[in-house]
Structure 1
Amino acid sequence: MLRVVGLLGLLLPGLAALEPLSVGLAIGVASALTGYLSHPRFYCSYVECCPSAGRRLNATALKLQLDTKLFGQHLAKEVVLKAVMGFSNNPSPKKPLMLSLHGWAGTGKNFLSQILAEHVHPAGLRSKFVHLFLATLHFPHHDQVKTYKEQLQNWIRGNVSACPHSVFIFDEMDKMHPGLIDAIKPFLDYYEQVDGVSYRKAIFIFLSNAGGDLINKAALDFWASGKRREEIQLKDLEPMLSVGVFNNKNSGLWHSSLIDRNLIDYFVPFLPLEHKHVKMCVRAEMIARGYAVDENIVQAVADEMTFFPKEQKIYSDKGCKTVQAKLDIHEDIVMRDPKAKG
C-alpha cells in the first residue's frame, strides 16, 4: 500500500504543468491505478494476507493429504478432519478450536499439525500467521513462569489482532512448566471478545508425548483380544487420556483449568505404529527423495528399527522418527542402482 501511495505522489507534481482537461484525465488514471494496485486480490498475490472471513477449507484436499501422508492413524485423521471442517464451516464459532494431540514420538503429531497449518495458511510454518512454540526453547526457566505468562498473552493478543485466523502450535507440552499454559485460558473460553479482540476464529494445537503409555497399552489390549486397530474408537481412549494428562505432573496440563473448564475440544490419540506402517514411511521417504521404491531397501530399513513388546515385537518404539536417518545409510546402495533413480 505504501508503494501505491508513493507512486501517486510521484505522479501528482507533474500534473500542474498540464492543461485542466489533461490534469483531470491524469488524476483519473492515477486514481484508477491506485485503486487497482491496492485491491486485496492484487495486493495479496505479492504479500501474505490473513484469510477473509468467508473462506472455507478444502475438505477433499485435506483428506487426500492425510490419507496419503499420515500412516497408521485412522483415529487421528478422522477426528481432526471432522473437527477442523466443522470449525471452518461454522460462520460464528463460540470459541477457538483447541486440539490436544498425544502419543509417542514418531507417530505423526508434528506432521499432522504441519499439514493442517498449510491448509489454513498455504505458507504453513513459514506463515506469519502460524506460530510455533517449543517449551524447551521459548520457556526454559522455571523461575520465569510469571514473565512467560505475560509474554504469551501479549504474543497471542497481538497476533490474533492482526489475523483472527491465527494458528498456534505448542510443541513439547510434556516439558511445559505446570500452570504456564493456563495463561491462555481467557483466549480459549466462551467469550465473544477479550479486551476488544475476538479469538473465536483461531486454532490452538498442543503436541505431547504425555499419555503415550496409556494409548500404547490400550492398543496392545485391543491386539491381545483379537481386535483390529481400526476398531479402536475415540470413546475408547479420550476419557482415559484426559484424566491421565490431568493427573500427570509431567504433561504440561497437570491440574490445568483448560481441562477443568472443558476448553480442550478433542484429546486426539496417536496409536503406536506397526511394522507395515514403518514400511509405508520408508516408501514415502524414498519417493520424496526422487528414488524408485526398492522393497529390499524398505525391508532393510524396517528391520533396523526396534519394536515392542520385547517378545511380540508389534509396535515401533520410535514410530517413523528415525526412518530418514536410517535411509541415509542405504542411500549409497540406492544411488549405485541405475534403476533406482526415479
Structure 2
Amino acid sequence: MRVTCQTLLRYVMITSVSFHAVEPFIVELLVGTVAAFWGSRESCNPKWIQFNSTGLEVDLQRKMFGQHIASKVISKAVTGFMNNKNPKKPLVLSLHGWTGTGKNFVSHLIAENIYREGMRSGFVHIFTSELHFPHPSQLEIYKSQLQQWIKGNVTNCPRSMFIFDEMDKMQPGLIDSIKPYLDYYEKLDGVSYRQAIFIFLSNAGGEHITETALEFWKAGSDREEIKLKDLETALSLSVFNNKKSGLWHTSLIDKNLVDYFVPFLPLEYRHVVMCAKAEMVSKGLKPDSNIADKVASDLVYFPKTERVFSVKGCKTIGHKLDYYT
C-alpha cells in the first residue's frame, strides 16, 4: 500500500505540473483520493500524531553535531508550537547554511518526533524546486496548484508538515502564493492552517554564516560563543535581497511571517569525525576512531592552508565510509 500511495502522490504532482488543462478542483480531487488511500493505514489522530518533546531534544543533542544555535532554536520553537493548543498562525522555519550542515537531517528529526511514521507519513510533504517546479514559464500554474495541494492536504489533516527543499533554486514569487496560509487568519474558505508546519531549506545566506564563523575563529573565539542575534537579522536581510533566493523580496519576510531564520554553521574536522562515527552506528558497525579520522581527512576544507571548515559538511560521509569498511 505504501508504494501505491507514494506513486499516486508523485503522479498527482507530476500530472498537475505537466498539463496546463488540469483544473484546480481536479487536482484537489486527486489529493483527496490520496488521502483516502492513506486513511486505510494512517489517520490524523493522536494514535499516529503525537509530539515527543523529550525525544526531539535528545535527538538534537546526540545526533546534531556543531549546531548549537540551530539545536536550541528548533527545540524551543517546535516544542512551544506543538504544546500550544491554540496557535495564532502556522509554525514557519527557514533553515539556512551550506550543504551537508544538517538542514535536511533536522527536518527528519522533527518529523520522527511528531509522526509515528516519521518521514514516511502521509502527512509530511516534500517539495524540491528542480523536480516539482522546473519550468519558469509555468510559474502561474505552479502557484495555483501549490495552493490547491496545500489546501487539500491541510483539509485532510490540519497537523500537516510541508518541507520546501532547494529554496535557493526556487523561482522568486512562487512561495508568495502560499502567503495567506502562513498569516494570522483563523480560517480561509473554512480551512484553518494554524496547526501546520512549514519548513524552508536553503543554501542562501550560507556565505554570511560562514564569514561570521570564520571571523570568530580568527579572533580565537569558540564557535559556541556565536549567538542567534549575531546572525539572524543580517541573515534575513541577505536572503530577502538575494535575487538567487526563492525568498527574494518575498512578502513572507516583509510581513514577518517567518518565525525563525535558523543558521547552520559550517562544520569543523572534529564534527566530521563525529558524523563518521554516527554513520557507523547507523550501519550497525562499531565506531572506529581511526576509520573516522581517515574519512574526515579525505574531505576538502577551507581556508586551504588552515583547513578549518568542511566544504561539503558531512554530506559525503556515507559513501566515503563504504570505502574504508
Return the TM-score normalized by structure 2.
0.86
* Deviation, structure 1 residue 46: 7.3
Residues 65-124 of structure 1 show CA distances to partners (whole Å, capped at 9, x for unaligned) of: 111111111100100000001101111000000000000000000000011012121212
> Matched residue pairs, number?
287
Aligned to 2:154: 160
* Deviation, structure 1 residue 52: 4.3
- Which of 1 and 2 has greater Rg? 1
Partner SS, residue 222 of structure 1: helix
Check conservation: 1:133, 1:171, Cα contact below 8 A.
yes
Residues 192-246 of structure 1 show CA distances to partners (whole Å, capped at 9, x for unaligned) of: 0011100000000000000000000000111111211111111110000000000
Aligned to 1:196: 190
Return the TM-score normalized by structure 1.
0.82
Moved over 4 A (4+): none
* Deviation, structure 1 residue 47: 2.6
Aligned to 2:301: 307
Partner SS, residue 302 of structure 1: helix
Aligned to 2:286: 292
Distance, in Å, in 1 between the alignment partners of 2:159 and 2:285 is: 38
User: Cα–Cα, structure 1 residues 56 and 291, in superposed 2: closer, same or farther, change >3 Å?
Assistant: closer
Aligned to 2:249: 255
One of 255, 266, 273 as aligned partner of 1:272: 266
1:144-155 to structure 2, matched below 5 A, reads 144-155=138-149
Check conservation: 1:241, 1:267, Cα contact below 8 A.
yes
* Deviation, structure 1 residue 56: 5.7
Letter paired with 1:217: E
Aligned to 1:170: 164
Aligned to 1:106: 100
User: Sequence identity of aligned pairs in percent?
Assistant: 60
Letter paired with 1:219: A
Partner SS, residue 247 of structure 2: coil
Distance, in Å, in 2 between the alignment partners of 1:58 and 1:121 is: 9
* Deviation, structure 1 residue 311: 1.9
Check conservation: 1:51, 1:165, Cα contact below 8 A.
no
One of 186, 201, 205 as aligned partner of 1:207: 201
Distance, in Å, in 1 between the alignment partners of 2:189 and 2:206 is: 38
Distance, in Å, in 2 between the alignment partners of 1:68 and 1:89 is: 23
Aligned to 1:226: 220
Distance, in Å, in 2 between the alignment partners of 1:286 and 1:161 is: 41
Check conservation: 1:56, 1:88, Cα contact below 8 A.
no
One of 45, 69, 76 as aligned partner of 2:63: 69
Check conservation: 1:56, 1:89, Cα contact below 8 A.
no
* Deviation, structure 1 residue 125: 1.9
Residues 18-54 of structure 1 show CA distances to partners (whole Å, capped at 9, x for unaligned) of: xxxxxxxxxxxxxxxxxxxxxxxxxx9973111349x
Letter paired with 2:280: M
Aligned to 2:51: 57
Check conservation: 1:173, 1:251, Cα contact below 8 A.
yes
Partner SS, residue 168 of structure 1: strand
Letter paired with 2:81: F
Are 1:281 and 2:275 counterparts? yes
Distance, in Å, in 1 between the alignment partners of 2:50 and 2:194 is: 15
1:7-156 to structure 2, matched below 5 A, reads 47-52=41-46, 57-156=51-150
Letter paired with 2:182: L
Distance, in Å, in 2 between the alignment partners of 1:45 and 1:209 is: 36
The runs of 5 or more residues in structure 2 that have no matched partner are 1-37
Partner SS, residue 98 of structure 1: strand
* Deviation, structure 1 residue 165: 0.3
Distance, in Å, in 1 between the alignment partners of 2:74 and 2:223 is: 18
Residues 128-159 of structure 1 show CA distances to partners (whole Å, capped at 9, x for unaligned) of: 10000000000000000000000000000000
